Amino acid sequence: MKKDYIPVKDAEFDAFQENLVNRVTANMVAWNITAAAFALLAPLQAAWAAAWLIAKIKVNRSIAVTAAKNQSRALYEAALRIFIQTNMYRNQSMTDGDLEMCGLRPHDKTRTPIPVPTSQPIVILDRAPGNFFVVRFFRLQDEAGALHRGKPEHVAKIEFAYSLNVQPANPDACANKSVATRGPIRVELPLMYNGQTVWFYARWKNIYDAAGPWTNLDSFVL
């Protein structure tokens, strides 16, 4: 997953926005950025600067001060994103070097296709306290068969299909399906299902929902 071009930490965000604003101020004419579009940022930047001036000092960070800082950043950051997308990334007058100078990554001009998953997840079911069972999934990384948490490269999520006490003929026959981007998956069932069998399949999917092969049918007794 690509890193966001706007920093997460407040101190880094402050440095980022200050550099961007200074660069745009110095190059507005050359980059054909209108004063009206840029002026929309000024009051929001001023509000952020005032809030951050107080909040960056640790002893000042009361609940009210932190809330004011977070709100001013949220408003300013939202406006910055719109400005960057509209007036910078879609600006034919700005080169990749200009974007980098402003702290931005140039857009990738060649889209790399996302492959369809080819491997199958390793799925393990466990009982949990109460009337729950937990679905844990892994990937195989080496020939020794060592289990590794997480998803393979280019995989965005796992699809888990299951049937309660009725052996399905195929994944489409499963009455229940769940999709998750991270594990474990917790499934709650009525207590009446204790001692019964969960029949299940699983498969990987990429960000476009293109799916890899289903696992073989497996089962677990609750």
Give me the pLDDT at residue 2, please.
Answer: 53
Task: Please name the amino acid found at residue 25.
Answer: T
pLDDT attached to residue 1: 41
Instruction: Collect the ranges in the chain with pLDDT lower than 70.
Output: 1-3, 108-112, 141-146
Omega before 152 within 30 of 0, i.e. cis: no
